């Protein structure tokens, strides 16, 4: 099953999103939160993110979703830190809440990396209010 890593500056946001995905995709055990700093401060930590990617990987690859600005930079750094590990890992360009839900549902259905990334990225175009 494709793993997911949720990166946010806030540990509460990352944990909250994994709580949400657990409700919809309870069978998925590889959705890992990597929010905030080790000491609880706001921020992102590339080393913790790379550990989360290893934890989320069961061999089918890992999709990373990140929140703002430096969250993306830390996630990219985390992926580089895995150089030498045999993990297929990609960063999805998607809103973090909607993208995580779509990715979790797609992953839990047993779809591959490309399908999970596409599901996450499609949420960028979804209108929330139809008037």
Partner 1 sequence: MSTRIYDCLKCIGEKIIENKDFLTDLDREIGDADHGVNMARGFTAVIEKTSPDDPDIGAVLKKTGMTLLSTVGGASGPLYGTAYMEAAKVLAGKDTLSAEDFKAALEAAIAGIQKRGKAEKGEKTMLDSLIPALDAYSAKIAEGGSLVDGLEKACEAAEEGIEFTKTIAATKGRASYLGDRSIGHQDPGATSATMTLEVIRDFLKG
Q: Annotated active-site positions, please?
A: 9
Alpha carbons 71 and 89: distance in angstroms, whole number: 16
Q: What tokens were used for 36?
A: 């905030």
Among 8, 11, 18, 44, binds partner 1 (CB under 8 A): 44
Residues 6+ apart with CB under 8 A from 61: 2, 3, 87, 88, 89, 90, 112, 113
| Identity of the residue, 72 or 109, whose beta carbon is nearer to partner 1 in the bound complex | 72
Q: What tokens were used for 34?
A: 């990597």
The least CB distance from residue 9 to partner 1, in Å, is: 8
The contact pattern for partner 1, residues 77-106, with x = CB under 8 A and - = no contact, is x---x-------------------------
| Identity of the residue, 77 or 122, whose beta carbon is nearer to partner 1 in the bound complex | 77
Task: Please report whether residue 10 would count as binding partner 1 according to CB under 8 A.
Answer: no
Among 16, 54, 60, 70, binds partner 1 (CB under 8 A): 70
- Count of C-beta atoms within a 10 Å radius of residue 39: 7
Among 41, 58, 93, 114, binds partner 1 (CB under 8 A): 41
Alpha carbons 99 and 87: distance in angstroms, whole number: 21
Task: Please report whether residue 42 would count as binding partner 1 according to CB under 8 A.
Answer: yes
Q: Which helix (H) or strand (E) holds 28?
A: none
């Amino acid at each position: 099953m494709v793993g997911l890593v949720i990166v946010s500056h806030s540990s509460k946001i990352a944990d909250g999103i994994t709580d949400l995905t657990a409700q919809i995709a309870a069978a998925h055990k590889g959705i890992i939160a990597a929010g905030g700093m080790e000491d609880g401060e706001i921020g992102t930590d590339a080393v913790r993110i790379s550990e989360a990617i290893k934890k989320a990987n069961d061999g089918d690859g890992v999709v990373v979703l990140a929140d703002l600005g430096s969250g993306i930079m830390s996630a990219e750094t985390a992926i580089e830190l895995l150089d030498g590990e045999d993990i297929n890992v990609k960063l999805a360009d998607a809103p973090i809440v909607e993208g995580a839900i779509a990715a979790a549902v797609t992953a839990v259905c047993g779809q591959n990396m490309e399908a999970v990334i596409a599901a996450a990225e499609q949420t960028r175009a979804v209108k929330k209010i139809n008037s």
